A and B are shown apart, each in its own frame.
Chain A
Amino acid sequence: MAAGLFKEGIAPGRLPTTQYADNFSDLHPPLDRHEAVVEADRCYFCYDAPCMQACPTSIDIPLFIRQIATGNPLGSAKTILEQNILGGMCARVCPTETLCEEVCVREVAEGKPVQIGRLQRYATDVAMAQDKQFFPRAAPTGKKIAVVGAGPAGLACAHRLAVKGHDVTIYEAKPKAGGLNEYGIAAYKSVDGFAQAEVDYILAVGGITIQNGKAMGRDFTLAELTASHDAVFLGMGLAGVNALGGEGEEAQGVRDAVDFIAELRQASDLSSLPIGRRVVVLGGGMTAIDAAVQAKLLGAEEVTICYRRGKESMNASTYEQDLAAANGVTIRHWMQPKRIVGVNGVTVGIELEYTAVDGGRLVGTGETLTLAADQVFKAIGQSFDAAPLNGSGPSVVLEKGRIKVDEEGRTSMSKVWAGGDCVVDAREDLTVAAVAAGRDAAESIHRTLTANGRA
């Protein structure tokens, strides 16, 4: 055991240097060819398959699995990518246990679904290893489209538009493309620089230019984009973070979980990344789990997730909760943050109040508990930052704090579509949902731009 484990406060290098690579290796190692064929054979090739209906991008799952079983992984990859050009990332990050695999008839029958996610990864890995492009671009249409944000929504939209022959420019505030694939997804779900490899694969279709470091609202306005392009797609994700509204939030050691994860994802040397000896994570979603597990993997001795409601209300799936438990994270329910305990502005603990539901409302019971903590991560939700939309003349209508769109992804503003986390729709905030939204908006844009036979 490295001495680093017992360093007080927030410190780097808690583990032996060789341990990091192990801790952050693939959560689900890839299937080899034989494993994939055997697993593929478990699929019943269902009629009107339930898994396919559960996939937000409607991938023809029985077909792609059958193509693996018959030794045609490239054909399989094409079936996947046709519907979901980020099929490789989705294979790694989709909470399959609440999507396709949840409704797989073999899950229903025997609690052991066909491992659709891992099979999808197998096929897309084969295609990407060969840099096989399946979708040649149509003849140029001369239409110019701007996409704001190079996350899953923006990339999926751009790719579909490029395939249709349009020219796309993506404006991305961050230095790298990929959105949360690059900055947010847990490190052990996307190893070996996969996010960038996938971006490169998508861009290889041609016709897409990315301008990094270009933020709407700072470097240009929406009005300028609509003036200079035939259409605009907004895929800006959720740039804002919810505040605790508690006392002492500004103490050193209190941090947004998404910032911590982004730093971790960008770190070239994980042993140099500081982490607290005792870490408390506030929240009950995927971000809370990811932050907690990765804190533990970095060598934090004690990691506790505190959630203000019961287990059943957590946004994180049972699978994710179990993953946290298996990594030694403690999950505590029915408690909300009251005060950060600081000494000289440095966090040493957190005071929490127990909660209960009273007449349908969540209330504090008045009883409190103080946990020792060097570091507190806030994972209590992200929000859409509407500021960059402002100052563009007629404004885009919002609803519940996000952009309002119709079923095709059209905003209230003509020539402007939106999709992904930044819109309010029935879809969950998931990578795969963002891909579906981007793709569908692209189809809508294409229909609009080519209406009346005009290409």
Chain B
Amino acid sequence: MADLSSNFVGIKSPNPFWLASAPPTDKAYNVERAFKAGWGGVVWKTLGEEGPPVVNVNGPRYGAIWGADRRLLGLNNIELITDRDLYVNLREIKQVKKNWPDRALVVSLMVPCVEEAWKAILPLVEETEADGIELNFGCPHGMSERGMGAAVGQVPEYVEMVVRWCKANTRMPVITKLTPNISDIRKPARAAHAGGTDAVSLINTINSITGVNLDTFSPEPMIDGKGTHGGYCGPAVKPIAMNMVAEIARDPETAGLPISGIGGITTWRDAAEFMALGAGNVQVCTAAMTYGFKVVQEMIAGLEAWMDEKGHRTLSDVIGRATPNVTDWQYLNLNYVAKAKINQDLCIKCGRCHIACEDTSHQAITSLVDGARHFEVMEEECVGCNLCVNVCPVENCITMEPLAAGTLDKRTGEVVKPVYANWTTHPNNPSAQVAAE
């Protein structure tokens, strides 16, 4: 049986599934329920500095997009950090940690960008016996207008500075949570690394408007006729988050820096993919907010079953396994030639592959053969783009078949070469390093 126990920057948890800092972790009541359901850890909802707590809007704070059967695909929120009193939160954190010593309890923090503010809050958190802190440099709305959250996370120098203050003022492990609302995610990661962070976590939410009400012409979620960009999360953001995790994982400057993967994780498979790309553990918010805490049971059972099936004994057998396979475009093998192939037994003759290729790609799929409705790839036209595979409604009906070295590519009239060759050496590349052949 696979061992799911996790040790992330010294913080131990029975499994790698943590709840991300958000409403599910805002109170002892929720967190107790989460631990009962089986979550390995939580990052407590972000605490702010001492004083009157922040206030939230009193109207809708969520917007969403859905698939056809109202399956929630993306969620957006304009909630701020915790709106409960700091000391109430700290008392609850201490009690919960005492009740659940085997679970990870990390406290998310966001205070103004001055060292005194951080110096003031860190001892209060240490006193709770929490396992670590997460610096919320991600919140994209509200808090950023006050010079916190993403306003810090978008300036690498500030990130490094705050991390440094924290490392200097606490013994607790520091996880730096990054905002995706930046053009190169490696910059803040490098800065956090330079400041001495123990890990980064990403992504926080993405600036977004989920919809526009076409009667009132107001953006959603709408408060009294107006809206503001909120933070986007849920299944829709997963591809973006995974790329960012991979970019950091394969950046030589941050090599080895632990990563807590966040963004759209809904199933065990999502979690396994994040970990394969280099995440040491994962955090979940929207899936729990959509289905309740029980979803973790599917995640645990699914991950276990997959690891057993593949013979992975511990999480370290999985973490980072896909990282070396993420590369730059220029290093992709241009001598790898694949052609689409339609399995006629599976084909239901909907014609989507044909019309996609015919109207928008390379006119490589028939629609009629000898007067009969028949869809077949014409190898002499197929560029192997994979579009038909993606639009076909039947799984595995169209597959991409690589041409073996030595076979003729009927489209180019050239024989597939047995050697790896990429753009850096291609004759069409004006700055090719080595002339091909």
Distance, CA A40 to CA B69, complexed state (A): 10
Query: How far, in whole Å, are A305 and B352 apart by their CA atoms in the complex?
Result: 45
B164 → chain A closest CB, angstroms: 52
B208 interface hit (Cβ, 8 Å): no
Q: Within the complex, what minimum Cβ distance (angstroms) separates B36 from chain A?
A: 34
Nearest chain-B residue to A106 (Cβ)?
B348
Chain B: CB-nearest residue to A46: B350
B349 and A50 form a contact (CB under 8 A): yes
Interface residue? A41 (CB, 8 A) = yes
Smallest Cβ-Cβ distance to B368: which chain A residue? A48
Name the distance in Å between A454's Cβ and chain B's nearest Cβ: 40
Would A47 and B348 count as touching, CB distance under 8 A? no
Chain B residue nearest to A38 (CB atoms) is: B69
- A40, A45, A47, A49: the one contacting B354 at CB < 8 Å is A47
Extra 5 A-B pairs, beta carbons < 8 Å, given A45-B352, A46-B351: A34-B70, A47-B351, A50-B373, A105-B350, A108-B349
Neighbouring A residues of B373 by C-beta, 8 Å: 48, 50
Q: Does A44 contact B (CB under 8 A)?
A: yes
* Shortest CB distance B144–A (Å): 34
**CB within 8 Å of B: which of A35-61?**
37-38, 40-41, 44-50
Which A positions have Cβ atoms within 8 angstroms of B? Answer: 34, 37-38, 40-41, 44-50, 69, 105-106, 108-109
- Report whether A47 and B68 are in contact in the complex, using a CB–CB cutoff of 8 Å: no
The smallest beta-carbon distance between A118 and chain B, in angstroms, is: 16
| Contact residue among A41, A47, A69 (Cβ-Cβ distance under 8 Å from B350) | A47
Contacts of B394 in A (CB 8 A): 109
A38 in contact with B68 given A47-B367, A48-B367, A109-B394 (CB within 8 Å): yes
Residues of A within 8 A of B53 (CB): none
Interface core residue of A41, A47, A49 (most chain B CB under 10 Å): A47
B101 at the A/B interface (Cβ < 8 Å)? no
Check if B121 is an interface residue, CB within 8 A of chain A. Answer: no
A44 and B68 contact, Cβ closer than 8 Å, known pairs A50-B373, A109-B394: no
Interface presence of B161 (CB below 8 A): no
CB pair B355–A47 under 8 Å, yes or no, is yes
Compute how far the CA of A349 lies from the CA of B393 in the bound complex, rounded to whole angstroms.
56
CA distance A48 to B366 in the complex (A): 13
Interfacial chain B residues near A105, Cβ < 8 Å: 348-350
A–B pairs, 20, beta carbons within 8 Å: A34-B70, A37-B68, A38-B68, A41-B68, A44-B350, A44-B352, A45-B352, A46-B351, A47-B352, A47-B354, A47-B355, A47-B367, A48-B351, A48-B367, A50-B349, A50-B373, A69-B68, A105-B349, A106-B348, A109-B394
The digit string for B390-413, where 1 denotes a CB below 8 A from any CB of A, is: 000110000000000000000000
Indicate whether A41 sits within 8 Å of B69 (C-beta atoms), given known contacts A47-B350, A48-B367. yes
> Closest residue to B393 on the A side, CB-wise?
A44
B423 to nearest A CB, angstroms? 35
Residues of B within 8 A of A46 (CB): 350-352
Q: How many A-B residue pairs have CB under 8 A?
A: 36
Closest A residue to B392 using CB positions: A44
Give the nearest-CB partner of A108 in chain B: B348
9 A-B pairs closest in CB distance: A47-B351, A41-B68, A47-B355, A109-B348, A105-B348, A46-B350, A44-B350, A105-B350, A38-B69
CA distance A453 to B159 in the complex (A): 79
Give B329-360 as 1s and 0s: 1 = Cβ < 8 Å from A's Cβ atoms: 00000000000000000001111101100000
Whole-angstrom distance between the alpha carbons of A105 and B350 in the complex? Answer: 6
Cα–Cα, bound, A388→B220 (Å)? 67
CA distance A174 to B91 in the complex (A): 85
Neighbouring A residues of B354 by C-beta, 8 Å: 47
In the bound complex, CA of A48 to CA of B367 (Å): 9
Nearest chain A CB to B388 CB, angstrom units: 12
CA distance A36 to B70 in the complex (A): 13
Query: CB-nearest residue of chain B relative to A109?
Result: B348
- Bound complex: CA of A34 vs CA of B66, how far in Å? 13
Say how far A50's CB is from chain B's closest CB, in angstroms: 7
A41: B residues at CB distance < 8 A: 67-69
Q: Mark B355-375, 1 if CB is under 8 A from A, else 0.
A: 100000000000100000100
Given the complex, which residues of B lie within 8 Å of A106, measured CB to CB? 348
Q: How far is the CA of A38 from the CA of B349 in the complex (A)?
A: 22
CB distance from A352 to the nearest CB of B (A): 45
| CB proximity of A396 to chain B, nearest CB, Å | 37
* Chain A residues, CB < 8 A from B352: 44-47
Q: Taking the nearest CB of chain A, how far is it from the CB of B256, in angstroms?
A: 45
- What 0/1 pattern do residues 14 to 27 of B give for CB contact below 8 A with A? 00000000000000
Most buried by B among A38, A40, A44, A50: A44
Residues on B with beta carbons closer than 8 Å to the beta carbon of A49: 351
* Chain B contacts for A44, CB-based, 8 A: 350, 352, 393
Type the 1/0 row for B218-247, where 1 means its CB is closer than 8 Å to any CB of A: 000000000000000000000000000000
Instruction: Provide the residues of chain B in CB contact with A34, threshold 8 Å.
Output: 70
- Taking CB as reference atom, which chain A residue is nearest B68? A41
Which of B348, B354, B355 has the largest number of chain A CB atoms within 10 A?
Answer: B348
Most A CB contacts (10 A, CB to CB) among B355, B373, B393 go to: B393
A115 CA to B67 CA, complexed, in Å: 19
Residues of B within 8 A of A47 (CB): 350-352, 354-355, 367
B134 to chain A, nearest CB (A): 39
Q: Which residue of B lies closest to A42 (CB)?
A: B68
Q: How far is the CA of A48 from the CA of B69 in the complex (A)?
A: 26
The answer for the CA separation of A116 and B75 in the assembled complex, in Å, is: 32
CA–CA, A46 to B68, complex, Å? Answer: 18
> Which residues of the other chain, A, contact B349 by a CB distance below 8 angstroms?
50, 105, 108
Quick one: closest B residue to A45, CB to CB?
Answer: B352
For residue A47, which residue of chain B has the nearest CB? B351
Task: Give A108 to B350 CA distance when docked, in angstroms.
Answer: 10
Q: Give Cα A106 to B394, complex, Å.
A: 10
Residue from B67, B69, B70, B367 whose CB has the most chain A CB atoms within 10 Å: B69
Tell me how far the C-beta of A329 lies from the nearest C-beta in chain B, rounded to whole angstroms: 35
Chain A minimum-CB-distance residue to B375: A47
The docked-state distance in angstroms from the alpha carbon of A37 to that of B351 is 22
User: What's the minimum C-beta distance from B301 to chain A, rounded to whole angstroms?
Assistant: 28
- What's the Cα separation between A106 and B367 when bound, in Å? 18
B359 → chain A closest CB, angstroms: 9
Chain B contacts for A109, CB-based, 8 A: 348, 394
Distance A44 CA – B356 CA, assembled complex (angstroms): 13
**Cα-based distance from A13 to B348 in the complex (angstroms):** 51
Shortest A114–chain B CB gap in Å is 11
Residues of A within 8 A of B351 (CB): 46-49
**Residues on A with beta carbons closer than 8 Å to the beta carbon of B348:** 105-106, 108-109
- CB contacts (< 8 Å) of B355 on chain A: these are 47
Chain B nearest CB, measured from A207 CB (Å):
36
Residue of chain B at shortest CB distance from A110: B348
What's the Cα separation between A370 and B348 when bound, in Å?
A: 49
